[in-house]
């Protein structure tokens, strides 16, 4: 929708399509006072893209504000007219969406992996780039165009905030413009995302309030755009966190602009550097940007949940049993269907591609209404970041059961009759080629090796399944496969120390001539590693186990003979997982099992409950050849390795001792110190934070005294002291607790001085400011100094009287 009006004649600014010169089909809907509608198909028109005007706006945005306000498009946007603002935003957004697609295609053709700059749309196929490695200039050029267009979207979004929401037409118009401007999810800054999410939420509230008064067709059109907008912002905010889209320059710079209350607000994020990790300045800046991105992701996730709920209630009003409403766009899919309770059993709910839910025949549905329920099935292009990054290649699917009042109904299936679901991955997932294992060159007789062993690390914060793919270069051969967690498996005539085994026979081969085996996620928790062994079966064993597939031998073939490989094989190992999103936006795995149908492009999950699901996928690096390690582990063959390890261990122990010593010193600097002259009978407390400046020789060893005065009382002369550490050191923040008989009232000033007893440069002191907190009322009082207390500097005074700072002074100081 690009315009609406109650008058017969009005001007419309048409958007472009997907090409430079596009054929645009125009449909005009005419509605009378009884809500009867006639649709008229107008003649198609060609729309020529106006690149000059758009480029002028881009140039103006990079220039001064006076140039920007004189721009014609900006003047039209500032009018506040819904039709004009909606048409301009839609036209520019469609143009930029096309330019963004071209920029992405150019980057991929230059060798940049598609999965690092793009979240593929639903139903799309894999984008194949150049096989050659990309040059840095290609990525630089891509980011330059990306950030220029992101800055313009950020600016355009500000004109949507004050548009009035009056009728269903204004909801359709504004939601359509928002869906267009948020379509390129890699170009949305945090500020733009926050505005878009808030605006879509307000429009959803308005739609819900008038849902009973408007036709279903109007609700459906508005719902389509609002769900698309909500999915766009959710994908956009999670893209950088999942490392699927680039971090925007505007976000990075805004995150690292010093907060105005950094020096005065103790609760400010900037005051707590632990939030941003350690490391150098670049690492802190990067972590700070990620911190703000995660904060916004949590906020938007909550808001999107509300939007979906509001839109669902708006559509449900119009649906009877057997009716459904489907929203199917490139960024999201949502199906809403009203069915009878009895028809839920054994139901298959399909989404885009192979994504689906298979409801079992037996389950517990926590509802007293047996007449009708609503099924809401939803699929998004990217799983939320949550607290687990390995879902970054997964789509997100969800299924909810809703009663007639709009409340979600609890659903519980039996563990032996679970819900089966298929979660697709992004088609641009990179599947590396298999790793060749040169086993024919192994001299097994020297070390009497019975298997060729491989080691893999399976440490994970959430349970994972492990999938093995083995391709023999001679497909007529059979293999015995054994494994054990956390230690080497052993199998011979005298010992059987394994956790599992299988035999690969030629008749097991699939069309791609690959043997497959998987260990589900119920077996891997609490384990850090897995070692597996492979050996060829000899001719006798092949006759016993693989000659006739109709009578498979279930016993374990055991031999004491050394391995003898007649052909090499290739390996590929990957892990997968099934996870659901809890109420705190964290991924959990309890109650979920990875199914055997899991492959490179989708994960099969078995679940006992319904919610939002995602899968994980990681192709593991080349496994360590444990057989080679064992065969070459003696000291004489590895002098350099052993000496390096010994030297490293010694250095590590020395550094640990030194670090422990420094930690104890740092610990002494922490904490709040009660003043030594506090009276035990006094029970009214203030916390005093004293900030020493960063100037050269700013710290002091002199004794510092003070008097704190309020409008009802003042303290005696008090002395700052700490028996366990040096105080008032350069750049330091010292915290003290002072006890007084009663409240001093609203504080007026603090008089502070020192006795100049320090030696040399340690006699003088540069005081930055003081913050006093009333620990009963939690009121804070600020006293700004920013002066020397020194006989040889400034005015030569070592005493200052600091009045309480006004709001203006605090702002000027910050």
Q: What is the CATH number of the domain that holds 690?
A: 2.60.60.20
599 and 663 together in one domain? no
618 and 723 together in one domain? no
Strands 348-350 and 479-485: unpaired
Among 809, 744, 731, 813, smallest CA distance to 775 is for 744
pLDDT for the residue 662: 76
Residue 289: inside a domain: no
Cα–Cα distances (Å) from 621 to 245, 281, 455, 578, 618, in that order, read 24, 32, 11, 21, 9
Record the tokens describing residue 395, joined without a space.
């789509």
Residue 487: inside a domain: yes
Report the number of distinct structural domains present in the chain.
5
Residue 200 three-state SS: helix
Sequence-distant (6+) residues with CB within 8 A of 230 are 197, 200, 303, 304, 307, 308, 332
pLDDT for the residue 119: 92
Residue at which a domain ends, from 424, 445, 462: 424
Residue 451: inside a domain: yes
Residue 299: inside a domain: no
Residue at which a domain ends, from 669, 689, 717: 669
Residue 755: inside a domain: yes
pLDDT for the residue 303: 95
Q: Are 424 and 601 in contact (CB under 8 A)?
A: yes
Nearest 5 degrees, angle CA 103-CA 106-CA 107?
85
Residue 128: inside a domain: yes
721 and 608 together in one domain? no
Q: Are 804 and 781 in contact (CB under 8 A)?
A: yes
Residue at which a domain ends, from 424, 454, 488: 424
625 and 731 together in one domain? no
Sequence-distant (6+) residues with CB within 8 A of 655 are none
Distance CA 392, CA 385 (A): 7
Residue 489: inside a domain: yes
554 and 685 together in one domain? no
48 and 162 together in one domain? yes
Give average pLDDT by consecutive 10-residue segment, the chain, 814 residues. Answer: 71 67 74 78 76 76 68 82 87 89 90 89 76 75 92 92 89 93 95 96 95 90 94 95 92 80 53 62 83 92 94 91 90 92 91 93 81 91 84 94 87 92 92 90 70 91 94 94 94 93 90 93 93 92 78 79 90 95 89 94 95 93 60 63 85 88 69 89 93 90 95 93 88 91 94 93 93 92 93 91 87 65
66 and 198 together in one domain? yes
Residue 782 three-state SS: strand
654 and 725 together in one domain? no
pLDDT for the residue 334: 95
List beta partners, residue 601: none
Residue 726: inside a domain: yes
401 and 447 together in one domain? no
pLDDT for the residue 641: 77
Q: At what angle do helices 51-61 and 136-157 cross, to 10 degrees?
A: 90
pLDDT for the residue 45: 77
Among 744, 745, 722, smallest CA distance to 735 is for 722
596 and 610 together in one domain? yes
pLDDT for the residue 132: 59
Our measurement of the distance from residue 808's CA atom to the centroid of its chain's CA atoms, rounded to an integer in Å, reads: 39
pLDDT for the residue 550: 47
Structural domain containing residue 216: 21-247
Distance CA 603, CA 360 (A): 19
372 and 440 together in one domain? no
Record the tokens describing residue 752, joined without a space.
């502070």
pLDDT for the residue 813: 64
pLDDT for the residue 57: 78
Distance CA 496, CA 141 (A): 60
DSSP state of 714: B
Residue-wise pLDDT tens digits, 691-729: 999 888 899 999 999 999 999 999 999 999 988 888 999
241 and 324 together in one domain? no
């Amino acid at each position: 929708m690009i315009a609406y009006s109650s008058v017969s004649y009005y001007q419309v600014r048409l958007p472009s399509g997907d090409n430079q010169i596009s054929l645009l089909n125009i449909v005009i809907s005419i509605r009378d006072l009884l809500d009867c509608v006639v649709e008229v198909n107008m003649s198609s028109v060609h729309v020529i893209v106006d690149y000059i005007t758009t480029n002028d706006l881009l140039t103006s945005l990079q220039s001064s504000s006076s140039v920007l306000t004189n721009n014609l498009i900006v003047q039209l946007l500032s009018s506040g007219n819904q039709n004009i603002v909606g048409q301009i935003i839609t036209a520019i957004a469609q143009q930029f969406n096309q330019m963004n697609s071209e920029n992405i295609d150019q980057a991929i053709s230059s060798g940049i992996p598609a999965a690092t700059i793009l979240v593929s749309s639903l139903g799309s196929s894999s984008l194949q780039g150049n096989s050659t490695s990309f040059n840095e200039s290609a990525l630089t050029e891509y980011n330059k165009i990306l950030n220029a267009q992101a800055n313009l979207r950020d600016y355009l979004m500000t004109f949507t905030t004050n548009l009035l929401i009056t009728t269903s037409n204004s909801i359709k118009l504004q939601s359509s413009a928002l869906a267009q401007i948020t379509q390129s999810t890699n170009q949305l800054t945090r500020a733009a995302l926050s505005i878009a999410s808030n605006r879509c939420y307000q429009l959803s509230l308005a739609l819900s309030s008038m849902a009973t008064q408007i036709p279903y067709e109007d609700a459906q059109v508005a719902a389509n755009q609002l769900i698309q907008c909500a999915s766009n912002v959710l994908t956009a905010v999670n893209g950088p966190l999942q490392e699927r889209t680039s971090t925007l320059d505007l976000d990075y710079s805004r995150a690292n602009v010093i907060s105005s209350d950094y020096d005065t607000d103790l609760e400010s994020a900037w005051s707590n550097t632990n939030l941003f990790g350690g490391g150098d300045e670049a690492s802190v800046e990067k972590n700070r940007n990620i911190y703000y991105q995660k904060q916004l992701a949590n906020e938007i996730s909550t808001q999107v949940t509300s939007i979906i709920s509001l839109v669902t209630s708006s559509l449900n009003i119009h649906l009877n049993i057997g009716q459904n409403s489907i929203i199917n766009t490139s960024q999201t899919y949502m199906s809403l269907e009203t069915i009878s309770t009895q028809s839920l059993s054994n139901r298959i709910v399909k989404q885009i591609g192979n994504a689906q839910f298979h409801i079992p025949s037996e389950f517990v549905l926590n509802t007293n209404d047996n007449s009708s329920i609503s099924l809401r099935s939803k699929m998004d292009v990217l799983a939320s970041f949550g607290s687990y990054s390995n879902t970054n290649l997964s789509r997100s699917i969800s299924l909810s059961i809703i009663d007639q009042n709009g409340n979600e109904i609890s659903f519980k299936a039996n563990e032996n009759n679970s819900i089966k679901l298929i979660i697709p991955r992004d088609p641009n997932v990179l599947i590396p080629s298999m790793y060749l294992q040169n086993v024919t060159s192994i001299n097994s007789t020297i070390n009497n090796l019975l298997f060729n062993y491989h080691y893999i690390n399976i440490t994970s914060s959430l349970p994972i399944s492990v999938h093995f793919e083995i391709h023999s270069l001679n497909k007529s051969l059979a293999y015995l496969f054994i494994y054990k967690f956390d230690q080497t498996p052993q199998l011979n005539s005298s010992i059987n120390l394994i956790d599992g085994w299988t035999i690969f026979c030629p008749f097991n081969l699939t069309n791609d001539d690959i043997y497959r085996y998987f260990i589900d996620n119920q077996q891997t928790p609490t384990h850090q590693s897995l070692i597996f062994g492979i050996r060829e079966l000899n001719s006798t064993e092949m006759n016993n186990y693989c000659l006739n597939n109709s009578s498979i031998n279930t016993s374990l073939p055991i031999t004491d003979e050394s391995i003898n490989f007649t052909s090499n094989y290739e390996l590929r190992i990957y892990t997968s997982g099934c996870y659901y999103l809890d109420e705190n936006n964290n991924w959990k795995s309890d109650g979920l099992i990875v199914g055997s149908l899991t492959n490179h492009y989708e994960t099969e999950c078995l679940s006992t409950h319904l919610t939002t699901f995602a899968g994980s996928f990681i192709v593991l690096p080349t496994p360590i050849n444990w057989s080679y390690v064992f065969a070459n582990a003696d000291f004489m063959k590895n002098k350099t390795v052993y000496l390096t390890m010994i030297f490293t261990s010694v250095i590590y122990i020395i550094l640990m001792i030194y670090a422990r010593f420094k930690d104890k010193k740092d610990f002494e600097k922490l904490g709040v110190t009660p003043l030594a002259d506090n009276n035990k009978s006094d029970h009214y407390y203030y916390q005093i934070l004293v900030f020493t400046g960063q100037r050269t020789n700013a710290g002091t060893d002199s004794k510092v005294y003070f008097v704190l005065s309020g409008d009802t009382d003042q303290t005696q002369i008090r002395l700052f002291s700490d028996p366990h550490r040096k105080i008032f050191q350069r750049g330091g923040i010292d915290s003290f607790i002072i006890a007084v008989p009663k409240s001093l009232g609203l504080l007026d000033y603090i008089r502070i001085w020192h006795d100049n007893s320090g030696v040399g440069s340690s006699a003088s002191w540069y005081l930055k400011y003081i913050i006093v907190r009333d620990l009963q009322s939690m009121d804070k009082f600020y006293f700004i100094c920013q002066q020397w207390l020194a006989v040889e500097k400034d005015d030569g005074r070592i005493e200052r009287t600091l009045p309480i700072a006004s709001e203006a002074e605090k702002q000027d100081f910050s």
